[in-house]
């Protein structure tokens, strides 16, 4: 690669970052406005959700098939759900309200998605980390045994969530069915996503099938980090990564189609 090619790539990267930054600020303003706590809603909202679920599960003594503390169980499970479920929800139909901004040639479909994904992923992550620290501080939670698997599992779920989001978001431009179907699909996928159970607690025949759901592998990894030797986590990382790569390619292909077909208003 010659120097001029490198500098071209550098220039493109700086333009793209500028555009994504501008879109980020625009999203924050239209979503949260300048009223009451404004931008803080980004992570306060998921925190309220997760805390609510944690309390509910604690009160009902949710059957999760192990002796693990329910707080830690709910926190890891529900935070992960917010991560993979909210990203597609925010990206489906994301292009339409931004069509007029695409009058500026450097604003492209992928930038709109990336800006929303950074916000959504950031919000879920801040919520997860803050709640963990807070629960540890007030004594609801033991500190995690190993941070690294938590980070790895979290990133894998985020990767899965964002590529799914970009794929569905680009597809939803052509077909409004995507929006209609995603809602029930995500709702039905929730109990299968590993948020409410440990794979180890399932019958062996079921384990094999439930691990085919990509999110489950990520959630298991996060829990291995949290509970360490207390649990026997099951996951298939090559499978999960393979799913993410395949989905990434599909997503980029669909974005290329959207780029070609879009008419700024």
Partner 1 sequence: MIHLDHIHKVYPTRAGDRVVLNDISFSLDRGEKLGILGRNGAGKSTLVRLVSGAERPTSGEVTRNMSVSWPLAFGGAFQNALTGLDNVRFISRIYKQKTESNIDFVYEFTELGAYLREPVRTYSSGMRARLAFAISMIIEFDCYLIDEITAVGDAKFYEKCETELFGKRRDRAMLIISHDLEYVRKHCERFAVLHEGDLAFYPDFNQAHQAHLHNLHIGEN
Binding site for partner 1 (CB under 8 A): 18-19, 21-22, 25-26, 29-30, 97-98, 100-107, 259-260, 262-265
Looking at the Cβ atoms of 29 and 133, the one nearer to partner 1 is: 29
How far does Cα 204 stand from its chain's mean position? Answer: 28
Looking at the Cβ atoms of 61 and 260, the one nearer to partner 1 is: 260
Angle at 144 between CA 130 and CA 194, to 5 degrees: 85
Distance CA 13, CA 7 (A): 10
| Min separation Cβ 18 and partner 1, Å | 6
| Min separation Cβ 3 and partner 1, Å | 22
Looking at the Cβ atoms of 61 and 105, the one nearer to partner 1 is: 105
Looking at the Cβ atoms of 97 and 242, the one nearer to partner 1 is: 97
| Min separation Cβ 19 and partner 1, Å | 6
The angle that helices 109-137 and 3-32 make with each other, rounded to 10 degrees, is 60
| Min separation Cβ 46 and partner 1, Å | 23
| Min separation Cβ 174 and partner 1, Å | 11
Q: Extract the tokens encoding 197.
A: 């159970």
Which string of b and e fits 82-112 if b means at least 16 CB within 10 Å? bbbbbbbbbbbbbbeebeeebeeeebbbbbb
Looking at the Cβ atoms of 18 and 208, the one nearer to partner 1 is: 18
The angle that helices 70-91 and 214-227 make with each other, rounded to 10 degrees, is 140
- Could you please report the per-residue DSSP string of 189-206? HGGGTTSS--GGGS-HHH
Distance CA 90, CA 98 (A): 13
């Amino acid at each position: 690669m010659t120097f001029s090619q490198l500098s071209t790539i550098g220039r493109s990267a700086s333009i793209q970052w500028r555009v994504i930054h501008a879109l980020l600020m625009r999203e924050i303003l239209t979503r949260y406005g300048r009223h009451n706590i404004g931008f803080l809603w980004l992570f306060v909202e998921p925190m309220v959700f997760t805390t609510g679920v944690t309390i509910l599960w604690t009160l009902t003594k949710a059957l999760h098939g192990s002796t693990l503390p329910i707080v830690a169980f709910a926190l890891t499970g529900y935070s992960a759900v917010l991560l993979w479920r909210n990203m597609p929800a925010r990206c489906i139909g994301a292009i339409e309200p931004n069509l007029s901004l695409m009058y500026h040639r450097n604003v492209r479909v992928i930038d709109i998605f990336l800006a929303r994904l950074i916000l959504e992923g950031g919000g879920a992550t801040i919520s997860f980390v803050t709640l963990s620290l807070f629960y540890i501080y007030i004594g609801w939670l033991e500190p995690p045994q190993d941070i690294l698997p938590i980070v790895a599992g979290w990133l894998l779920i985020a990767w899965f969530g964002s590529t799914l989001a970009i794929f569905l978001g680009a597809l939803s431009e052509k077909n409004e069915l995507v929006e209609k179907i995603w809602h029930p699909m995500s709702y039905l996928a929730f109990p299968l996503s590993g948020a409410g159970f440990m794979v180890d607690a399932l019958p062996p025949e079921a384990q094999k099938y439930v691990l085919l759901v990509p999110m489950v592998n990520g959630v298991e990894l996060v829990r291995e980090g949290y509970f360490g030797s207390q649990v026997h986590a099951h996951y298939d990382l090559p499978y999960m990564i393979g799913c993410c790569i395949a989905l990434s390619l599909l997503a980029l292909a669909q974005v290329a189609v959207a780029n070609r077909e879009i008419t700024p208003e």
